Amino acid sequence: MKDICKSFHGIHANKDINLHVESGEILGLLGENGAGKTTLMNILYGLYQPDSGQIQINGSPISISNPVESILHGIGMVHQHFMLIQNHSILENIALGYKDTPFFFPKIKLRKRVAEFSKQFDFRMDLDQKVWQLSAGQQQRIEIIKALLNGADLLILDEPTSVLTPPEIKELISILRQMKAEGHMVIFISHKLDEIMDICDRVTVLQKGRIVGHANTADTNKKALARMMVGRDVVFNIDKEKLKKGKKVLSVQDIHISGDKGITAIKGVSFDLFENEIFGIAGVSGNGQRELAEAITGIRKIDSGSVRMDEKDITNLSPRHIYDNGVSHVPEERIRFGIAPGLFLYDNAILKQHHLKKFSKRYFLKYSQVKNHAKTIVSDFKVATHSINNQIRNLSGGNIQKLILGREISEQPRLLVASHPTYGLDVGATEFLREHLLELRKQGSSVLLFSEDLEEIFELCDRVAVIFAGEFMGILDADDERFCDIGLMMAGSKEPSPKITNFSESTAV
Ligand SMILES: Nc1ncnc2c1ncn2[C@@H]1O[C@H](COP(=O)(O)OP(=O)(O)OP(=O)(O)O)[C@@H](O)[C@H]1O
Ligand SMILES: [Mg+2]
């Protein structure tokens, strides 16, 4: 890519970008939220047109005016937010955008092609399953198959690992290594510096739309990369102050919840959560975390059992009533449940809060208050946007997440239910959020944190429950030296070591 420039509303998203990738190479693209990574890759994939600059393949300039042309040039892209059609089957989704699709749906031919490919890259899946039934990892594999079937020489992966479980990440890395060995090129965007160091040959760092540095991963380290991105040193390990837990805030008693496919997703889970406490739920995703978070926040029905907030029964109340009882929620799927993409940023800053007296009077919103509130969130949480009169879908992924966090946290909730809150955040924003969660805890709130990132769990949580197949395998205290058992428990081992505590108090195992 040569001298690429692109602006939106007079603000540079990309400025004078020069970038190259060689065959058999994995290039990492790094930068803070809103630095311009996705925009640059959307230009390469033909979704956006640059204002100026040129794209060349093997030294010859080419023009890419849409994704069909980029696919013909051997470029494939897996987007930051999946673009599959949820109600269609895997095969139908692969057929959409397949470059050799004739007039009629080439079911038999395509099924054969996919089967050959699946064998080569060890993808195992039932092609007639509907996409909505699949985990994020499976959806992503379909996106990769789609790109490879179209003969992609260059595969662009925009934050592919944010939503993957650790085993899925391992699988993805081995696929990428195989592609590299076969001479394919990969551009890999991630905020997880360990991953970048592990799989990339080179990295390019963007800051505010410009390239600020290049490095060979062999000659650099995580700290130096973070400094290059953020322009200052980043603290990777924060110390948490020891606090005495206060009154009981949340009490979950023997709840059973059904999953989307009608099978029981949570089987008799019980626990209590106190003031000044961060309670982590660790586990490989798909073991009931999503259903548990949705049930507590009112999005999903509880079949039996009870949830109490400050001794008040809130079982199966509506999300709004649960919010009114002091429960905030940062959902796992931010685009589907966290925002209304077509609305302005200021509307999104008060979702679920629009009925509060300070934002509305009778049937009308008090727009000046709403806008002031939005401006405060934007400035406190450093949301990069040119204006609050901007449709939220135009913000970068990490900045959407920052706005959701600001909305849910800034009002000092009694309980925050947060699923993967640092998902998609850059290293600086992650550090900021972790400090903020600890501050909430200090102020007396409780936090129920769902995460697969063990480092995050260890750093923040006072107690951790390990969930497997819809049950708690045990609850560990942060002081427990046997944290190494967590890995085993995540894989389903219920064997409680002598130091596992709080069984009597909190679980129904
Ligand atoms: N369609 C659009 N309309 C207006 N502004 C846009 C549009 N697309 C991107 N932008 C702006 O361009 C800038 C760069 O966004 P981009 O999505 O490329 O960031 P990013 O580096 O991918 O960030 P993240 O790590 O959060 O995903 C942002 O300020 C964003 O608001
Ligand atoms: Mg992005």
pLDDT in tens, 14-24: 999 999 999 99
Specify the pLDDT at position 506. Answer: 38
Nearest atom in ligand 1 to the alpha carbon of residue 42 is 18
Let me know whether 442 and 303 are in one domain.
Answer: yes
Which ligand is in closest contact with the Cα of 403? Answer: 1
The answer to whether the beta carbons of residues 335 and 391 sit under 8 Å apart is: no
Nearest atom in ligand 1 to the alpha carbon of residue 37 is 21
What average pLDDT score do residues 235-242 get? 77
Let me know whether 78 and 226 are in one domain.
Answer: yes
Handedness of CA 208, 211, 212, 213 (dihedral sign): positive
How far is it, in rounded angstroms, from Cα 286 to Cα 265?
9
Q: Which of 243-247, 332-336, 366-370, 493-497 has the lowest mean pLDDT?
A: 493-497
Domain's final residue, options 412, 445, 473: 412
Let me know whether 25 and 74 are in one domain.
Answer: yes
Handedness of CA 188, 75, 23, 213 (dihedral sign): negative
Specify the pLDDT at position 230. Answer: 83
Res 34 pLDDT > 70:
yes
346: CA distance to ligand 1 center in Å?
A: 18
Res 39 pLDDT > 60:
yes
**Look-up of token digits 């300039």:** 61
Res 460 pLDDT > 60:
yes
Let me know whether 421 and 488 are in one domain.
Answer: yes
Query: Taking each helix axis from N to C terminus, what angle separates 136-149 and 166-181, rounded to the nearest 10 degrees?
Result: 10
Mean of the per-residue pLDDT values for the chain? 88
Let me know whether 311 and 289 are in one domain.
Answer: yes
Classified as helix, coil or strand, 56 is: strand
Res 508 pLDDT > 50:
no
Let me know whether 356 and 419 are in one domain.
Answer: no
**Res. 65 pLDDT band, cuts 50 70 90:** very high
Let me know whether 506 and 401 are in one domain.
Answer: no
Let me know whether 82 and 221 are in one domain.
Answer: yes
141: CA distance to ligand 2 center in Å?
A: 19
* Of residues 354 and 22, more confidently modeled: 22
Specify the pLDDT at position 502. Answer: 42
How far is it, in rounded angstroms, from Cα 177 to Cα 481?
36
| H or E element that contains 145 | helix 136-149
Domain's final residue, options 359, 382, 412: 412
Paired strand residues for 202: 27, 216
Nearest CA to ligand 1 atom 6: 394
Which ligand is in closest contact with the Cα of 206? Answer: 1
Nearest CA to ligand 1 atom 3: 394
* Range(s) of the domain holding residue 429: 238-326+414-509
Res 365 pLDDT > 80:
yes
Highest mean pLDDT among 64-73, 301-310, 420-429, 499-508: 301-310
The answer to whether the beta carbons of residues 444 and 278 sit under 8 Å apart is: no
Q: Say if ligand 1 is within 6 A of residue 13 CB.
A: yes
333: CA distance to ligand 1 center in Å?
A: 19
Domain's final residue, options 230, 246, 279: 230
Specify the pLDDT at position 328. Answer: 95
The percent of residues above 90 in pLDDT, for the chain, comes to 54
**Look-up of token digits 């987007």:** 79
Q: Return the CATH number at 433.
A: 3.40.50.300
The answer to whether the beta carbons of residues 62 and 56 sit under 8 Å apart is: yes
Let me know whether 192 and 247 are in one domain.
Answer: no
Which ligand is in closest contact with the Cα of 36? Answer: 1
Let me know whether 306 and 418 are in one domain.
Answer: yes
Specify the pLDDT at position 172. Answer: 84
Res 86 pLDDT > 90:
no
DSSP 333: S
Highest mean pLDDT among 13-17, 160-164, 407-411: 13-17
Let me know whether 11 and 81 are in one domain.
Answer: yes
Res 387 pLDDT > 50:
yes
Let me know whether 261 and 380 are in one domain.
Answer: no
Specify the pLDDT at position 262. Answer: 78
The count of structural domains within the chain is 3
What average pLDDT score do residues 490-499 get? 60
DSSP 255: E
Res 213 pLDDT > 70:
yes
Encode 269-280: b = buried (16+ Cβ within 10 Å), e = exposed: bbbbbbbbbbbb
Which ligand is in closest contact with the Cα of 190? Answer: 1
59: CA distance to ligand 2 center in Å?
A: 27
229: CA distance to ligand 2 center in Å?
A: 14
460: CA distance to ligand 2 center in Å?
A: 26
Nearest CA to ligand 1 atom 24: 33
Tokens for 215, please give them.
């490095």
Res 501 pLDDT > 60:
no
How far is it, in rounded angstroms, from Cα 29 to Cα 27?
7
Output the CA–CA distances (angstroms, integers) from residue 98 to 2, 82, 112, 457, in the order listed: 29, 17, 14, 41
